[in-house]
């Protein structure tokens, strides 16, 4: 006789992180190759002498800093271990058994995992022919059992983004008891003025009486803190409150909190770096298009190559050229924008592949 575990978890696919291969260039996980800013590294080192103490479980100082930065009351904020943990907390806080969580597919691969683990039902709506959210189809998929809708904007892994008027029209048609979650993990890389700032959009929706909009952001991507796991949710107080209720005490560690605040202090420097990544993104996409690849317009720090059945072949080809990309077999490959020399190595591999 063995210990009994949940039988339904046998069918649950594990999250697959980007591969790391010694000696190869890793462009598989949407990390910022340059790492955290020097001032942030110093702040982490200075704070390391205090790790014998428990962290502030409520992240009060960071919450106050974010409230001032975003122009929202502190009770609209919840801090978590990266936005992925906040995704799980949102499902736990809104869904019981047989309740539904709806999202586009393909989108962030953690959505189906956190939904299944929480015991809720996942509803996947295929992306449209332009590799972006099919909002009309998503609206049609909402049922009385739907409790939450994830809208990843820009979308991972395609990089495509919805415009302000599209999201506003979508929210207007979603039932008020269904939470719309704008997942903005790649917000800092957006350079199209037509793509909304989700927090500003949410504040406008709240002012209009639509208290069913929340926003997720992370320090993992643009801020270079993926290894420390810290992100935050901006939501109506009733949602932020239940997020804090399902939060695992002390799970956001002290170094992560210090690093996040130091990153906010160095935000001007960070945005200069982001603009450099955006410039490289434009260059890489332009060269890929010239080579005959189909590459949707992207607002993230990666490009998407919808290679379909040739994805596995392309992945192996890149590995042979010592470049690690993120392959979604049968669908496409996501390639992070790295440093110029890393991008050049990827482009050399792409040139050697017959499209």
What is the DSSP secondary-structure string of 92-159? HHH--TT-EEEEEESS-THHHHHHHHTTPEEEEEE--TTSS--HHHHHHH--TTEEEEEEESS-TTT-
User: Which pLDDT value is given to residue 23?
Assistant: 82
| 278 Cβ contact list (under 8 Å, min separation 6) | 189, 191
User: Which pLDDT value is given to residue 22?
Assistant: 74
Among residues 89, 88, 82, 29, which one has the least CA distance to residue 228?
A: 82
User: Which pLDDT value is given to residue 5?
Assistant: 59
Asked if pLDDT for residue 194 goes beyond 90, the answer is: yes
| CA–CA separation, 276 and 61 (whole Å) | 30
Residue 174 is given by DSSP the state S
Which band of pLDDT confidence, cut at 50, 70 and 90, is reported for residue 35?
confident
Q: Are 337 and 281 in contact (CB under 8 A)?
A: yes
- SS3 call for 157: coil
In this structure, the chain runs to a length of 355
Asked if pLDDT for residue 13 goes beyond 70, the answer is: no
User: Which pLDDT value is given to residue 11?
Assistant: 66
Asked if pLDDT for residue 322 goes beyond 70, the answer is: yes
- SS3 call for 3: coil
Report CA torsion sign: 21, 296, 148, 13. Answer: negative
CA 161 to the chain's CA centroid: 13
Q: What is the mean pLDDT of residues 198-212?
A: 97
150: buried, middle or exposed (CB in 10 Å: 19+, 13-18, 0-12)? buried
Which band of pLDDT confidence, cut at 50, 70 and 90, is reported for residue 148?
very high
Partnered with residue 21 across adjacent β-strands are: none
| CA–CA separation, 118 and 149 (whole Å) | 15
pLDDT, mean over the chain: 95
pLDDT digits (tens, 9 = 90+) for 44-88: 999 999 999 999 999 999 999 999 999 999 999 999 999 999 999
Among residues 186, 160, 131, 152, which one has the least CA distance to residue 298?
A: 160
User: Which pLDDT value is given to residue 199?
Assistant: 98
Q: Are 301 and 337 in contact (CB under 8 A)?
A: yes
Lowest average pLDDT, out of 6-15, 103-112, 143-152, 232-241, goes to 6-15
310: buried, middle or exposed (CB in 10 Å: 19+, 13-18, 0-12)? middle
Query: Around Cβ 122, how many Cβ atoms within 10 Å?
Result: 16
Which band of pLDDT confidence, cut at 50, 70 and 90, is reported for residue 280?
very high
% of the chain surpassing 90 pLDDT: 91
Residue 316 is given by DSSP the state H
| CA–CA separation, 70 and 350 (whole Å) | 41
Please give the structure tokens belonging to residue 230: 């810290």
Which band of pLDDT confidence, cut at 50, 70 and 90, is reported for residue 17?
low
Domains of the chain as residue ranges with CATH = 7-36+268-351 (3.90.1150.10), 38-265 (3.40.640.10)
Lowest average pLDDT, out of 19-33, 92-106, 191-205, 239-253, goes to 19-33
User: Which pLDDT value is given to residue 217?
Assistant: 98
User: Which pLDDT value is given to residue 2?
Assistant: 72
Residue 246 is given by DSSP the state S
| CA–CA separation, 187 and 241 (whole Å) | 24
Asked if pLDDT for residue 15 goes beyond 60, the answer is: no
Asked if pLDDT for residue 40 goes beyond 70, the answer is: yes
Residue 49 is given by DSSP the state G
User: Which pLDDT value is given to residue 131?
Assistant: 98
Which region, left, alpha or beta, applies to residue 166 given φ > 0 means left and ψ of -120 to 50 means alpha?
alpha
Please give the structure tokens belonging to residue 200: 């500003």
Asked if pLDDT for residue 334 goes beyond 90, the answer is: yes
Q: Helix 82-94 vs helix 110-117: angle between axes, to the nearest 10 degrees?
A: 40
| CA–CA separation, 56 and 103 (whole Å) | 33
Beta strands in 199-347 (DSSP E): 213-218, 231-234, 302-305, 323-324, 326-328, 332-336
């Amino acid at each position: 006789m063995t210990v009994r575990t949940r039988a339904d978890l046998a069918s649950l696919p594990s999250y697959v992180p980007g591969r790391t291969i010694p000696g190869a260039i890793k462009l598989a996980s949407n990390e910022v190759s340059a790492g955290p800013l020097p001032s942030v590294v110093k702040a982490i080192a200075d704070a390391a002498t205090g790790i014998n103490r428990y962290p502030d479980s409520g992240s009060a100082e960071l919450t106050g800093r974010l409230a001032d930065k975003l122009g929202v009351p502190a009770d609209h904020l919840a801090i978590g271990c990266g936005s992925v943990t906040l995704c799980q907390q949102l499902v736990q806080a809104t869904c019981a058994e047989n309740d539904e969580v709806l999202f586009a597919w393909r989108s962030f691969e953690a959505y189906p995992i956190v939904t299944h683990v929480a015991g809720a039902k996942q509803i996947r709506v295929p992306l449209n022919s332009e590799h972006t959210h099919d909002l009309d189809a998503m609206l049609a998929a909402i049922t009385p059992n739907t409790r939450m809708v994830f809208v990843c904007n820009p979308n991972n892994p395609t990089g495509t983004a919805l415009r302000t008027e599209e999201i506003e029209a979508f929210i207007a048609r979603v039932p008020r008891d269904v939470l719309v979650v704008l997942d903005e993990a790649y917000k800092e890389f957006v350079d199209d003025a037509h793509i909304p700032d989700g927090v500003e959009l949410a504040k406008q929706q709240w002012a209009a009486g639509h208290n069913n909009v929340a926003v997720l952001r992370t320090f993992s991507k643009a801020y270079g803190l993926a290894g420390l796991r810290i992100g935050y949710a901006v939501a109506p107080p009733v949602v932020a409150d239940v997020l804090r209720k399902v939060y695992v005490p002390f799970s956001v560690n002290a170094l992560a909190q210090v690093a996040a605040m130091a990153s906010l202090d160095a935000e001007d420097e960070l945005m200069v770096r982001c603009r450099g990544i955006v410039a490289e993104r434009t260059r890489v996409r332009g060269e890929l298009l010239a080579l005959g690849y189909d590459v949707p317009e992207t607002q993230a720090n990666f490009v998407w190559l919808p290679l379909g059945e040739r994805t596995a072949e392309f992945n192996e080809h890149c590995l042979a050229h010592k470049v690690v990309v993120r392959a979604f077999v049968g669908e496409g490959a996501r390639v992070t924008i790295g440093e110029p020399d890393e991008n050049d190595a990827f482009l050399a591999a792409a040139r050697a592949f017959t499209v």
